[in-house]
């Protein structure tokens, strides 16, 4: 009976994991299928873009550390507190998500700022506006992240793998980025303008100066790594060593499913590229 209950519990957890990480599961299946056509050999080592994986892991780890000290929530809440109305609060949230997606990637921007959007409007008893704000935040995160090389994982891979110059990358993406900002801002005009009070949650009134300074320095190091100023392994080692002593939980919170997705993608792309005539 105990084994049956344990098996059932394990099966339920496995199903939940698959549902929450469907992209990773599909990437794994694709990689396994490709390996049937190209059995593992010494060439597999050349399939992996170590620089992309280092950049992605470093960025995600530092962002998790900043989230643990409520950095993004405190900064965003202080900005929103001065807006005065639901329309301006929504616009501020959307712009913060825009900027966040350019700096911490679109997925992390949504994880960070969607809960803040819900808190702001639910605390003001205007929950019916949350859906509109969520939609606009999702649009802002995906469109805002297209401007920078680290705005989303796809950008990071293309930027690193093809060695695209930073200026060229951003100049190509700037026109659609500006159009996106204009259109999303225009959509905010449909949000009713009502008085809105915003307060910071208890225990989130101040930032620890020392940790904040160190984490922002680590974040700067990850950006320099993306822009090829600091070697990836040196930058990643610095981030890991610092977080081992300061915030091990941040290392555990990294989206390893996303990293695993990229590993599978490299296997899939490498095997098919190697097998093509």
Predicted local confidence at residue 151, as pLDDT:
80
How many CB atoms neighbour CB 191 within 10 A? 20
Predicted local confidence at residue 213, as pLDDT:
94
Short-list 161, 181, 23, CA closest to 102: 181
Predicted local confidence at residue 202, as pLDDT:
47
Predicted local confidence at residue 107, as pLDDT:
73
Domain ranges of the chain: 2-275
Question: What is the mean pLDDT, run by run of 10 residues, along the chain of 277 residues?
Answer: 57 77 87 86 81 85 88 72 78 86 76 74 70 87 84 80 85 90 87 66 70 92 81 92 94 90 87 64
Contact 76, 116 (CB under 8 A): yes
Question: What is the DSSP secondary structure assignment for residue 254, as one 8-state letter?
Answer: S
Predicted local confidence at residue 242, as pLDDT:
96
Predicted local confidence at residue 175, as pLDDT:
92
Instruction: Tell me the sheet residues that pair with 85.
Output: 195
- 69-to-28, 110, 240 alpha-carbon distances in Å: 34, 17, 17
């Amino acid at each position: 009976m105990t084994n049956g209950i344990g098996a059932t519990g394990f099966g339920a957890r496995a199903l939940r994991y698959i549902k929450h990480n469907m992209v990773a599961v599909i990437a794994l299946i694709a990689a396994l299928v490709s390996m049937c056509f190209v059995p593992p050999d010494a060439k597999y080592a050349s399939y992996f873009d170590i620089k992309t994986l280092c950049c992605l892991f470093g960025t995600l780890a530092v962002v998790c550390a900043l989230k643990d000290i409520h950095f993004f929530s405190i900064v965003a809440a202080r900005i929103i507190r001065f807006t005065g109305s639901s329309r301006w609060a929504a616009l501020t949230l959307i712009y913060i998500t825009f900027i966040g997606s350019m700096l911490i990637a679109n997925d992390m921007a949504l994880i960070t700022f969607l809960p803040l959007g819900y808190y702001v409007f639910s605390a003001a008893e205007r929950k019916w506006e949350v859906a509109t704000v969520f939609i606009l935040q999702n649009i802002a995160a995906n469109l805002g992240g297209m401007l920078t090389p680290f705005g989303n994982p796809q950008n990071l891979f293309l930027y690193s793998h093809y060695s695209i110059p930073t200026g060229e990358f951003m100049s190509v993406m700037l026109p659609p980025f500006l159009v996106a900002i204009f259109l999303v801002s225009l959509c905010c005009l449909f949000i009713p303008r009502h008085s809105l009070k915003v307060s910071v949650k208890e225990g989130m009134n101040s930032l620890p100066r020392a940790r904040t300074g160190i984490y922002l320095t680590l974040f700067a190091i990850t950006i320099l790594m993306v822009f090829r100023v600091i070697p990836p392994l040196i930058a990643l080692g610095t981030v890991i060593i610092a977080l081992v002593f300061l915030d091990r939980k941040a290392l555990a919170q990294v989206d390893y499913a996303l990293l695993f997705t990229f590993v599978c993608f490299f296997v899939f792309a490498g095997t098919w590229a190697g097998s093509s005539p």
